[in-house]
């Protein structure tokens, strides 16, 4: 008998298990390691204040999630594990005149949301010249407008997920790499999780299955309206360039370039809604990612392609995460549908679910993301 079973071992599920174990819960994590899970192909952009979009609730969640990264990285470091997290700053750019209007809309929203916390025009939050932008990120081409924001960072998703796993295992986490074959419901409770011929019981069950979460909901008679969206990214090695100190580049048209240590830049990404559960890297996807990257940073033309990846983002119809209790089942919880922001939101979402199970009040944070919003 376990205190909790977590289904899914990506960054969301692993964070949930890590925080449950930290709370002293006897926890079993079930992860069949599906090819194409979003964690394995995430670029790792971290920025709370520039977390765009119309949803104020998601913005607030992003601000809290970014702030929590520093807390988590410190805890992992104290446990002897590298988190893969670093503060590096961000350039939000409009590379072409036709994107200036969108840039101005996004900038106005960011400035409004940051009132009282960070002053626009300060050293850490200001517009800079395209020439200055190229000093910070040398491969950049001509830009129409550039915003610099110092309170942003990056993370190696696989590194921080592995770090949480190592620390959680030391704390007693049990991991099974088998497929869940059955969820057993008895009235208002989830009473068992089947793996082949074995059935495991727990006081609480968390569904953190990413793009596959809908399948688990169907076994419970609950609709979790999540679909996969394929995203393809490419890892490049610029020639004779030291990239560790470069800022992230975020384009208002949704493209990005993320520098890491070891002369590496991750560029992306596609947003493919018709790929189903295919996690293939495609010629068309690679061409689009490279074309977009070279329009922004033509100085990468001689970079070596060192790796291509594809992942399946879990997407809800309204684009918001699904985090909280499963309606009608008193001991079941769900955390999924983080979309393209899973790396940013994942660790904090895991903490919130663990807090909820432990009886800590997180209602005000989770209300906007409850599954019940899709009812009717």
Is 212 a residue whose pLDDT tops 60? yes
- What digits encode the pLDDT tens for the residues 110-150? 888 888 787 888 888 999 999 999 999 999 999 999 999 99
Spans of all domains in the chain: 2-43+158-226+318-374, 90-150+228-315
pTM of the model: 0.95
- What digits encode the pLDDT tens for the residues 14-67? 999 999 999 999 999 999 888 888 888 888 999 887 765 678 888 899 999 999
Q: What is the pLDDT of residue 33?
A: 83
CA distances to 48, 123, 223, 342, 352 from 64, in Å? 7, 22, 28, 14, 11
Q: What is the pLDDT of residue 51?
A: 67
- What digits encode the pLDDT tens for the residues 219-244? 999 999 999 999 999 999 998 889 99
Is 250 a residue whose pLDDT tops 90? yes
Helix and strand element counts for the chain (H, E): 9, 20
Three-state secondary structure call for residue 374: helix
What is the chain's mean pLDDT, rounded?
93
Three-state secondary structure call for residue 147: strand
Please tell me the distance from the alpha carbon of residue 251 to that of residue 90, in angstroms, as a whole number: 10
Mean pLDDT (whole number) for 96-119: 88
Q: What is the pLDDT of residue 21?
A: 98
Mean pLDDT (whole number) for 176-188: 90
Please tell me the distance from the alpha carbon of residue 367 to that of residue 363, in angstroms, as a whole number: 6
Is 376 a residue whose pLDDT tops 70? no
Q: Percent of the chain scored above 90 by pLDDT?
A: 78
Q: What is the pLDDT of residue 38?
A: 86
Q: Tell me, which fold does domain 90-150+228-315 have in CATH?
A: D-Amino Acid Oxidase; Chain A, domain 2 (3.30.9)
What is the CATH superfamily name and number for domain 2-43+158-226+318-374?
Answer: FAD/NAD(P)-binding domain (3.50.50.60)
Q: Alpha helix (H) ranges present in 301-359?
A: 342-357
Question: Which is nearest to 341 in space by CA: 92, 90, 65, 150?
Answer: 65
């Amino acid at each position: 008998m376990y205190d909790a079973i977590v289904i899914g071992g990506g960054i969301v599920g692993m964070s949930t298990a890590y925080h449950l174990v930290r709370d002293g819960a006897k926890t079993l994590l079930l992860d069949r390691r599906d090819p194409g899970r979003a964690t394995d192909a995430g670029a790792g952009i971290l920025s709370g204040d520039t977390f765009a979009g119309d949803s104020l609730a998601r913005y607030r969640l992003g601000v809290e999630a970014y702030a929590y990264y520093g807390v988590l990285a410190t805890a992992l470091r104290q446990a002897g594990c590298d988190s893969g997290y670093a503060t590096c700053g961000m350039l939000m750019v409009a590379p072409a005149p036709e994107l200036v209007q969108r840039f101005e809309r996004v900038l106005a929203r960011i400035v409004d949301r940051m009132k009282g916390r960070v002053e626009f025009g300060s050293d850490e939050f200001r517009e800079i010249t395209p020439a200055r932008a190229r000093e910070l990120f040398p491969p950049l081409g001509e830009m129409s407008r550039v915003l610099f924001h110092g309170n942003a960072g990056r993370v190696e998703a696989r590194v921080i997920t592995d770090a949480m796993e190592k620390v959680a295992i030391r704390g007693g986490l049990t991991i099974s790499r088998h497929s869940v074959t059955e969820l057993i419901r008895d009235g208002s409770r989830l009473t068992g999780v089947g793996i082949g011929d074995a059935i495991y019981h727990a006081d609480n069950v968390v569904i953190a299955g990413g793009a596959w979460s809908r399948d688990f909901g169907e076994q419970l008679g609950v609709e979790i309206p999540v679909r996969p969206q394929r995203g393809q990214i490419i890892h490049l090695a610029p020639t004779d360039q030291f990239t560790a100190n470069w800022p992230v580049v975020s384009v208002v048209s949704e493209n990005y370039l993320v520098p890491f240590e070891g002369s590496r830049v991750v560029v992306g990404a596609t947003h493919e809604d018709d790929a189903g559960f295919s996690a293939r890297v495609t010629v068309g996807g690679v061409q689009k990612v490279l074309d977009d990257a070279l329009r922004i940073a033509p100085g990468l033309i001689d970079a070596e392609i060192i790796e291509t990846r594809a992942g399946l983002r879990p997407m809800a119809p309204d684009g918001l995460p699904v985090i909280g209790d499963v309606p009608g089942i008193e001991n079941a919880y769900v955390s999924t549908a983080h979309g393209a922001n899973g790396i940013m939101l994942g660790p904090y979402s895991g903490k919130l679910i663990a807090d909820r199970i432990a009886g800590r009040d997180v209602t005000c944070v989770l209300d906007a993301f409850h599954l019940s919003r899709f009812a009717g």
